[in-house]
């Protein structure tokens, strides 16, 4: 089995982009060029997703995807440009990819309305959007009074979910991605539901003693059940294998450095940890983020075609713009049966004594 190693890959990819784009009138904290989001739209009878992609300061893509749609197109892609000199959405052009029929005009109008309305509501939060917000609002498109949940680390609109008055999901975050070889906006084909998941009967020896593993200015404790891949210390990964010598858990340390002028490092770290690749998707219902002045820890389950993986990334603050990160992933069944063992390793990271 292969475990997800997206943490180091995306940290290196995203942090080379120090510039930030935003929807009109919004000073965003996390949007990188090529970042996109998909939402499950529960207002449709059939399984339906709505996606938003930001190419640059004034160019966006919108996508409707309903794989089991009984009428109309199963997918509609719309590309729009906006006037970057305005602080509200003013479209200057659009292009529809593919053929649409009269049946699809309503869906096309719905995409327009969503983009305008969600942009306006995001703008209303102002640039002081620094923490989770739970807002009761009137939203006619979703039936009247709704609860809208916002998070500053979510791209585009900062939107986590829209719930009905009785707390039923209406519009809910399903996927965060970025354009690269492993994840393309138009390739999104719905959430993964792991099939034929094999039970992992793994017995991990609870060694009494561990050895310290040093990575530059930080260290953490591992016992000799873990095997290093032999890479240089800055990108080294340690693997825990089962009796068939297949990896069931991994740990990978790395350092994250932001430009000195960066003011939104914490929110960007969260976004980096929540970006998925095409062969996996985060179960956002399982997402847990804990933070204090010294560290940020992001934990979530990830669905893959044949398994569920539990991922935990911990960022230890070195300075305002520098962090030491310890990325951990394990088969969910293995993690749940050995949680205390793994948490002891994860929590063993600390700065080396000088």
Q: List, for the chain, all residue ranges whose pLDDT scores fall below the cut of 70.
A: 1-22, 31, 127, 181-182, 200-201, 203, 207-208, 232-234
Q: Find all residues with CB under 8 Å of 242, minimum gap 6, and list them.
A: 200, 202, 248
57 to each of 25, 36, 88, 98, how far by Cα in Å? 11, 14, 13, 25
Domain identity same for 176 and 254: no
Domain identity same for 128 and 224: no
Domain identity same for 175 and 119: yes
Query: Which CB contacts under 8 angstroms, 24+ apart, belong to 256-263?
Result: 256/11, 256/15, 256/315, 256/322, 256/323, 256/324, 256/325, 257/15, 257/321, 257/322, 258/15, 258/18, 258/321, 258/322, 259/18, 259/321, 260/321, 262/18, 262/321
pLDDT at 4: 43
Domain identity same for 42 and 178: yes
169: left (phi over 0), alpha (psi -120 to 50) or beta: beta
Domain identity same for 224 and 259: yes
Q: Which residues are 178's β-sheet partners? A: 35
Domain identity same for 340 and 204: yes
Per the structure, how many domains does the chain have?
Answer: 2
Domain identity same for 79 and 222: no
Per-residue model confidence as pLDDT tens digits over 187-210 = 898 998 887 777 766 767 776 678
Contact between 42 and 171 under an 8 Å Cβ cutoff? The reply is yes
CATH number at residue 333: 3.40.1000.10
Domain identity same for 130 and 263: no
Domain identity same for 61 and 124: yes
Domain identity same for 336 and 231: yes
Per-residue model confidence as pLDDT tens digits over 215-258 = 899 999 999 889 888 776 557 899 998 878 888 999 999 999 98
- Supply the pTM of this predicted model: 0.90
Q: Is residue 7 part of a domain?
A: no
User: CA torsion angle for 145, 150, 156, 162 (degrees, to 10)?
Assistant: -30
Q: Which residue among 123, 157, 186 closes a domain?
A: 186
- CB neighbours (10 Å) of residue 237? 20
pLDDT at 1: 35
Distance, CA of 299 to CA of 339 (rounded, Å): 13
pLDDT at 182: 65
For helices 265-274 and 6-14, what crossing angle results, to 10°? 140
Q: Is residue 306 part of a domain?
A: yes
Domain identity same for 102 and 152: yes
| Domain with 119 in it | 35-186
10 Å CB burial of residue 40 (0-12, 13-18, 19+) is: buried
> What does residue 186 show for φ and ψ, rounded to 5 degrees?
-80, -5
173 to each of 47, 161, 194, 263, 312, how far by Cα in Å? 14, 6, 19, 25, 20
pLDDT at 54: 87
Q: Which residue among 186, 219, 251 closes a domain?
A: 186
Q: Is residue 14 part of a domain?
A: no
Q: Is residue 53 part of a domain?
A: yes
Q: Is residue 293 part of a domain?
A: yes
Q: Which residue among 132, 165, 186 closes a domain?
A: 186
């Amino acid at each position: 089995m292969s475990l997800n190693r997206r943490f180091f890959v995306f940290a290196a990819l995203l942090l080379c982009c120090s510039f930030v784009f935003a929807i009109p009138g919004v000073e965003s904290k996390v949007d990188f060029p090529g970042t996109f989001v998909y939402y499950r739209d529960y207002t449709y009878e059939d399984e339906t997703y709505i996606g938003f992609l930001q190419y640059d300061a004034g160019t966006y893509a919108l996508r409707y995807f309903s794989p089991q749609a009984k009428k109309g197109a199963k997918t509609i892609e719309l590309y729009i440009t906006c006037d970057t000199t305005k602080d509200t959405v003013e479209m200057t052009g659009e292009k529809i990819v593919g053929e649409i029929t009269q049946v699809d005009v309503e869906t096309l109008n719905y995409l327009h309305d969503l983009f305008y309305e969600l942009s306006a509501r995001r703008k209303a939060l102002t640039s002081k959007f620094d923490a989770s917000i739970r807002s009761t609002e009137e939203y006619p498109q979703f039936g009247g009074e709704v609860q809208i949940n916002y998070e500053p680390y979510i791209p585009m609109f900062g939107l986590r979910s829209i719930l009905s008055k009785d707390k039923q999901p209406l519009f809910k975050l399903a996927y965060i991605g970025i354009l690269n070889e492993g994840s393309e906006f138009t390739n999104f084909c719905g959430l993964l539901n792991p099939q034929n998941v094999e039970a992992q009967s793994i017995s991990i020896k609870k060694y009494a003693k561990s050895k310290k593993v040093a990575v530059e200015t930080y260290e953490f404790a591992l016992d000799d059940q873990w095997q290093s891949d032999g890479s240089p210390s800055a990108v080294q990964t340690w693997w825990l294998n089962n009796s068939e010598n297949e990896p069931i858990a991994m740990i990978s340390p790395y350092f994250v450095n932001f430009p000195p002028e960066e003011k939104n490092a914490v929110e960007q770290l969260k976004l980096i940890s929540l970006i998925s690749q095409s062969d996996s998707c985060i179960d956002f219902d399982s997402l847990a983020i804990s933070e204090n002045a010294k560290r940020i820890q992001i934990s979530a389950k990830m669905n893959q075609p044949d398994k569920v993986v539990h991922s935990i990334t911990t960022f230890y603050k070195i300075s305002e713009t520098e962090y030491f990160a310890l990325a951990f992933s394990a088969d969910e069944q293995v993690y749940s049966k050995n949680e205390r063992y793994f948490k002891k390793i994860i929590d063993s990271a600390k700065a080396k004594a000088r």
